[in-house]
Structure 1
Amino acid sequence: MTIHSVRSWYIYLFFILVVAACSKEEQAPVPENIIAVTEQSGNTPSAAAVPVSWYQLQFKLIRETPGFTPPVAARALAYTGIALHEAVVWSDRYGHSLSGQLNALNYVPRPERGKQYNWEIAANSALSDIITRLYPTASPANVALINALDSTNRLAAASGCDASVMNRSVDFGKSVAAAIYAWSTTDGGKDGYLNGFPTDYVPPVGPAFWVPTPPAFQRALLPYWGNNRLLVKPRYPETAGIAHPAFSTDTAAAFYKEAYHVYQKVNTLTPEENTIALYWADGGGTFTPPGHLLAITAQLITEQGLSLTKAATLFAQAGISVNDAGIVCWKYKYKYNLLRPITYIRQYIDAAWGPLIVTPPFPSYTSGHASFSGAAGTVLAGFFGNHFSFTDNQKVPEGFAPRAFSNFQQMVDEAAVSRIYGGIHYEFDSEIGARTGEEVGRRVMGLRY
């Protein structure tokens, strides 16, 4: 997304909020960045503006709805993408439903044979319905935005559309969303946003184990998240995992050297390394690391002019990848329960040391940033190619300069190392996180869309 389109989005949000506050008798004009199309044009590049508009609103919801921490946000983004995909897949004669491919997804409604559909309207209704269900505690102002975007997109897409086609398309999109949401409620993560810090979890005790970290000293975040159902089953049973270097306080040991590397790196950051750490921080009150990756996805969909079905496929793939990467990562986090660098460094190296960014409230191994980025980066490379160059403009509104990458692996590497520069992860956290994320991404790319 260009700087101009970022500004346009905020202008668009303001417009929608004004429309939502107006009386029902008033007829609002169609915003310029929503293009009215006919019922046959669901695969034109402009049609992708409908899902992109919903993802842009969802990034705002992630920022502003309590409890949408990175794994919870990743889950919402995944089910949003799946609902979108299933609402439009039948517009492509070569498309494949994810029913029967995703774990325990055995039924998704299909369109009526011989009937005509407006696929943009179907997509819009599916997205409106699934997002409303996934964010039940959204603020009244954001609920108004959801309702207004639903109406505005539907109005734009309905130009020249017969009323029966429009109604059938709306009903189909809603039926798909209802089925996907019902399936989502059985995955173990439905109420994750309500109870991120369960009081019944008691972390193990010992010198190598995680303890709450300053400044907030919060309880462990989502300790049971790793038990959630994966969307894509591994082809083979998962192994016991990849162990980190053995904990040791011996200055000659590998673990001490890893911690000392973090200590020394934070103390000697270059201006560029400092920028990288802050650029990828994506902490509380932001669109989170999974949101950042899906925002890049939305930007590329817009820049590359993808059709509605292509956009739906990519949104589904990217969302599924970050969801499953989060589950695998959290499984390892609470399998190993490894202490954070700040705990080790202050106890065994320098009691006055502090990281550049605040340490999040969960164990160190493996890195969530690296896992999410490894998964999404693999999906994006599979879609656009290993040598696709791009510029991430997503943090421009926050005062950062755009960051250019020659390929997606460079993006993954930078996101992964940013956590070492920030002082909150060991290098092996990021290396193994990126590797397991890549494995997840490859599984996602193995499905038929």
Structure 2
Amino acid sequence: MKTNCLYYRFICLFFLVSLLACNKKDAPVPDIAPVSKESALKALTQLSGGDAAVPLSWYQLELKLIKESTGFSPPVAARAIAYTGITLHEVVVVGKRGPALSGQLNGLQYVPTPERWKKYNWAIAANSAMAQIIRNLFPNASVENLNLITQLENDNLQALSDSCTQDVTTRSINYGKLVASAIYQWSTTDGGKDGYLNNFPTDYIPPVGPGLWIPTPPAFQRAMLPYWGNNRPMVKPSTPDLADIQPPAYSTDTTSTFYQAAHFVYQTRKTLTPEQTLIAKYWADGGGTFTPPGHLLAITAQLVNDQQLDLEAAATLFAQVGIGLNDAGILCWKYKYQYNLLRPITYIRANIDSSWAPLIGTPPFPSYTSGHATFTGATGYILAAYFGNSFSFTDNQKVPEGFVPRSFNNFLDMINEAAISRVYGGIHYQFDSETGKQTGKDIAGRVLALKY
């Protein structure tokens, strides 16, 4: 099938999944003829010219689950994406006698391997494994979405099983389940297993003092995931995390670095250009969306499809991006609650303009460092390592929400735009984003140093 035709099918199917998942009743969406969920999911198995269609179909469904499952805030979503990718990698790459992540990732000592001299269908094994790990990672999925998991698993299997004998099919299914079970058991010991149930723990009491975070208007929510930074990262750093990344010293002196940084946010909000406003809204990815990690996963999936990666290459890239997102969330949240820095709205209203408001809603956790910058920095440098520093691409993932596709000359452009978007939105200081980009880059380096 021609690449253009495949690309068109990919976009149309993504629109459909977005329509099924959309929680925003007033969001503008493309005019698409009604298609049954059954035929849509079956069509996903025919997404690509190769067997990478299997993980692509599962990631599209996982994005829907992130949107619709309660409690899947950005770090929780990143965690689910990571364990899904590791499961895929250990089935496919290790199955084909490539390097295992067990023994390399923190606490992952053993993952079952396939029987020697036995035949397997790796796409069938991947389908079985991804179905099981996603069921485990989204235990609060709706009955409808649990049924979609079962249906997609069956549709993919039906599309693939004609290519091999029954004993190969059965062996492949069982192997996938064994790997998924091992990865899930490992996941339960990382500290984040029940994060979706308790984003706002009532036992956390934020510190009080000048320059420290307090709940922000309009909702004045409690602090989100204050203990997430204590979770086990997947890649144990060879050297300690950055020990000296303090933000500028808090001060209300108008000549101070801190005041000037806050005043820059204030002034930027007052003079936003249409393009800056668009950038802020494009990268917002707030509640009820696929979240910033989901946005980056969706870009990765689009590139896997556009570039027609085979199953093994796709498995490697999805694992790398997932690990990077997970560890970005842990390290960023570690710094957020280590420094507990107040948000721009708090500082600006107290010291510059009591009526000031940001363009987008301020999230319920401390400002420093920026999650967007850290997530996008980690992912962007991982993608650049695979596709090249000068690789240009167009992000189509926000079209279902009414945005025009957004093009980038390279991944660094994407990183910088996502990072500055939070300053344009009025919810981060510029130093939040600059440090976030650097820590994201550091995490990417750790991830890429592993053997795949």
1:55 maps to which residue?
Answer: 59
Whether 1:409 and 2:448 are equivalent positions in the alignment is no
What does 1:216-235 align with in structure 2 at a 5 Å threshold?
216-235=219-238
- Find the counterpart in structure 2 of residue 204 from structure 1: 207
From 86, 90, 107, the equivalent of 1:86 is: 90
Structure 1 residue 282 corresponds to structure 2 residue 285? yes
CA deviation digits over 1:362-414, x for unaligned, max 9?
Answer: 00000000000000001000111111100000000100001100100000000
3-state SS of the aligned residue for 1:193?
helix
In 2, distance between residues paired with 1:411 and 1:239? 24
Aligned partner of 2:162 in structure 1 is: 159
Please state how far the C-alpha of 1:334 moved relative to its aligned partner. Answer: 0.1
Corresponding letter in the other structure for 1:268: T
Q: For structure 1, list consecutive stretches of 5 or more residues without a partner in the other structure.
A: 20-28, 37-43
Partner SS, residue 404 of structure 1: strand
Deviation at 1:32, TM superposition (A): 4.3
Counterpart of 2:13? Answer: 8
CA distances 1:232-259 after superposition (whole Å, capped 9, x unpaired): 0111123434000000000000000000
The answer to whether the 8 A contact 2:129-2:176 is kept is: yes
Q: Secondary structure at the match of 2:378?
A: helix
Cα deviation, residue 355, structure 1: 0.1
Q: Name the residue aligned to 1:64.
A: 68
Code of the aligned partner of 1:374: G
Change (3 A) 1:2 1:356: farther
C-alpha distance 144-203 of structure 1, shift in aligned 2 (>3 A): same
CA distance in 2, matches of 1:45, 1:307: 9
Query: TM-score when scaled to structure 2?
Result: 0.93
Distance 1:106 1:157, change over 3 A: same
SS in 2 for 1:323: helix
Match of 2:30 in 1: none
C-alpha distance in 2, partners of 1:327/1:5? Answer: 32
Name which of 184, 191, 203 aligns with 1:188. Answer: 191
**Pairing 1:418–2:421 present:** yes
Contact 2:7 2:305 in 1 (8 A): no
Unaligned runs of 5+ in 2: 1-5, 21-33
Match of 2:443 in 1: 440
Look up the equivalent residue of 1:5 and give its one-letter code. F
Q: Which residue is 2:314 aligned to?
A: 311
1:393 pairs with 2:396: yes
What whole-Å deviation, never above 9, does each CA across 1:299-340 have from its counterpart, x for those lacking one?
A: 000000000000000000000001000100000000000000
Give yes or no for contact 1:17–1:144 (8 Å, CA) kept in 2. Answer: no
Partner of 1:127: 130
What is the distance in 2 between the residues matched to 1:240 and 1:311? 35
Structure 1 CA distance for aligned equivalents of residues 41 and 229 of structure 2? 44
Q: Following TM superposition, by how much is the alpha carbon of 1:2 offset from its aligned partner in structure 2, in angstroms?
A: 5.0
1:255 to 2:264 alignment: no
In structure 2, what is the equivalent of residue 31 of structure 1? 42
Moved more, 169-178 or 236-245: 236-245
Is the 1:123–1:173 contact (alpha carbons within 8 Å) kept by the matching residues of 2?
yes
Query: Match for residue 117 of structure 1?
Result: 120
Whether the aligned pair in 1 keeps the contact of 2:44 and 2:57 (CA below 8 Å) is: no
Three-state SS of the structure 1 residue aligned to 2:407 is: strand
- Judging changes above 3 Å, is the alpha-carbon distance between structure 1 residues 312 and 292 closer, same or farther for their aligned structure 2 residues? same
- Aligned pairs, how many? 432
- Within 5 Å, give how 1:331-350 maps onto structure 2: 331-350=334-353
CA RMSD of the aligned region, Å?
1.7
Pair 1:181–1:236, CA change in 2 (3 A):
same
Distance, in Å, in 1 between the alignment partners of 2:314 and 2:302 is: 11
For the residues of structure 1 that align with 2:95 and 2:361, how far apart are their CA atoms? 47
CA–CA distance in 2 between the matches of 1:134 and 1:195? Answer: 15
Kindly provide the amino acid, as one letter, of the partner of residue 433 in structure 1: G
Checking the alignment, whether the CA contact within 8 Å between 2:124 and 2:169 is kept in structure 1 is yes
Matching of residue 77 in structure 1 with residue 81 in structure 2:
yes
Contact 1:48 1:307 in 2 (8 A): yes
Q: Is the 8 A contact 1:325 1:375 kept in 2?
A: yes
Distance 2:387 2:142 in 1: 36
Contact 1:45 1:306 in 2 (8 A): no
Q: Provide closer, same or farther for how the CA distance between residues 292 and 400 of structure 1 changes in structure 2, counting only shifts above 3 A.
A: same
User: Quick one: which of 319, 325, 328 aligns to 1:325?
Assistant: 328
Find the aligned partners of 2:95 and 2:388 in 1 and give their Cα distance: 25
Q: Provide the C-alpha distance between the structure 2 equivalents of 1:351 and 1:299, rounded to a whole number of angstroms.
A: 44
Structure 2: distance between partners of 1:342 and 1:327: 25
CA shift in 2, pair 1:146/1:6, >3 Å:
same
Question: Match of 1:226, SS?
Answer: helix
